[in-house]
Amino acid sequence: MKLILHMWVIIAALCCQPDNATCSTESDLLSLLDFKNSITSDPHAVLASWNYSIHFCEWEGVTCHNTKHPHRVTALDLANQGLLGHISPSLGNLTFLTALNLSRNGLIGEIHPRLGRIPNELTNCTSLRAMDLSSNQLVGEIPVNIASFSELASIDLSQNNITGGIPSSLGNISSLSELITTENQLEGSIPGELGRLHGLTLLALGRNKLSGPIPQSIFNLSSLEIISLESNNLSVLYLPLDLGTSLHNLQRLYLDYNQISGPIPPSLSNATRFVDIDLSSNSFMGHVPTTLGGLRELSWLNLEFNHIEANDKQSWMFMDALTNCSSLNVLALFQNQLKGELPSSVGNLSSRLQYLILGQNELSGSVPSSISNLQGLTSLGLDSNNFDGTIVEWVGKFRYMEKLFLENNRFVGPVPTSIGNLS
């Protein structure tokens, strides 16, 4: 029988008023035992120590660390234990709980709006700082009153089956630094109110069903280090030209699989700590900015499935510029509008480069022999272009090559025997 789990029983139960008589050491003990009783399967016997033989502060997953109240529970961490069952509302008696991590279990239930709102008395809760309920089987909607927990710094609800929209009230939690709702069934638009979260460093809303534009207010959050909005239906005519200037702390940008058009902002180079940029599967057009060559820590640049052009010496200059990215591991430009000869400077790309994907373009001429300098390659995609000439001996010099795509070109002559050297 499917357990019914109201989100406020999960969340609001984490706090109770400090002057409540039930908020005592004995109450902590009974609350933990009641939680244990709500678990129907404990495959790793993580709760085996939860008995009267030792103090509950010594139980696995339980932390008691409070200088004024040393025997009160401050953290409960039972992540990745394969637990099945539901979350007992008795956790509401853990007055000093500041961190809850029940992620990567099999906790099930329904977040049902008709089961009520947060009691007004809970709006004064100030203990809870971190909440991780990711990788369970929770359904229903994110309650609007989640903003009542005004001291939350981190919320992770990823990898569940949560539906509905993202409450705009989240923008009222000024202490929030991490908001993660990846891999759910969330719909609607991204609330502009999230732009009030001036301490936000991680915004991960990817792999949902979100639509509409990305609010301009998000691009003004200079504290952001990671933006993960991939695999939604976001429609953006063009990214702000000053994106890299306003988001100068950005390290990872994932906007792939959306409906974003316009040019790639050259200002991205102003975010000098960039590691990953994934703009694939959109409708970006224009040239790859040469300014990206200033990103010395850049490891991942994925621009596949767009309308990016390179058809003359000037528009190919980005390849020269990227040779300055000494940490580059992935360069993917599959299915764009690259034309003409591949510059020989491709062979001067980072020695760390493992993936070079240039298939399904209109590249022509001979493959530069300098490409054999990229000895770290494990995957090389040159397929579905107009390359001609012979497949020369360099093809067998890649010691670590695992995937080589050369089909659908105009190569002539025999396949070199050195190709047999590929492992």
pLDDT digits (tens, 9 = 90+) for 149-166: 888 999 999 999 999 999
Residues 335-361, mean pLDDT to the nearest whole number: 98
pLDDT digits (tens, 9 = 90+) for 260-287: 999 999 999 999 999 999 999 999 999 9
The C-alpha atoms of residue 76 and residue 324 are separated, in whole angstroms, by 46
pLDDT digits (tens, 9 = 90+) for 137-152: 888 888 888 887 888 9
Q: What is the pLDDT of residue 116?
A: 32
pLDDT digits (tens, 9 = 90+) for 361-419: 999 999 999 999 999 999 999 999 999 988 876 787 888 999 999 999 999 988 877 77
Q: What is the pLDDT of residue 320?
A: 98
Q: Name the residue among 330, 260, 322 with its Cα closest to residue 292.
A: 322
Structural tokens at position 225:
């280090």
Question: Which fold, 287-423?
Answer: 3.80.10
pLDDT digits (tens, 9 = 90+) for 43-84: 999 999 999 999 999 999 999 987 677 888 989 999 999 999
Q: Is 215 exposed, middle or buried (0-12, 13-18, 19+ CB in 10 A)?
A: middle
Q: What is the pLDDT of residue 122?
A: 38
pLDDT digits (tens, 9 = 90+) for 92-142: 778 788 888 888 988 775 543 333 333 333 334 457 899 898 998 888 888
What values do phi and psi take at 246, rounded to 5?
Answer: -75, -30
Q: What is the pLDDT of residue 99?
A: 87
Q: Structural domain boundaries of the chain?
A: 287-423
Q: What is the pLDDT of residue 69?
A: 75
Phi-psi region of 82 (alpha: psi -120 to 50; beta: other; left: phi over 0): left
